[in-house]
Structure 1
Amino acid sequence: MQTIYRLKASELDHHFLEGLKATFQDKEIEIIVYEVNETDYLLKSESNKNRLFKAIENVNNGTNLVEVSLENFE
């Protein structure tokens, strides 16, 4: 059985550990921890990669931009 948990380090608490223990009971488990790089994750998908690069191109060229007035949110 394989389970992936994605959470912030600040969310690790005794509730998480108790849930982990309940899920795997007396089985031996391996815990691997690594920092998630959001950009790498988003670039894995070809469609996401194309959208991100198009958005960067739009910003660099000043095209297809949306301006929002913060006055509308006060």
Structure 2
Amino acid sequence: MSEHYREVEEAGFKAFNTVANSIKFNYNTILNYFHNRSTNAAAESFNAKIKAFRSQFRGVKNVEFFLFRLTRIFA
């Protein structure tokens, strides 16, 4: 595998180097998907729900009540 990284680095294309570095940095996480079929889709979905909920209640002054409502609706 390292031979491929070296070839990409020697090619001199910055975009390829960026991709190669991203793969190198996230290598174990990428392989984890193929080993366990696990993703962070549930966390991303929950994050999207929080963002949608938050957009409905812009300007909330009472953060404690906001968090209470959030846990009652999504927990």
Does the alignment reach a TM-score above 0.5? no
| TM-score w.r.t. length of structure 2 | 0.29
| TM-score with structure 1 setting the length | 0.30
More helix by percentage: 2
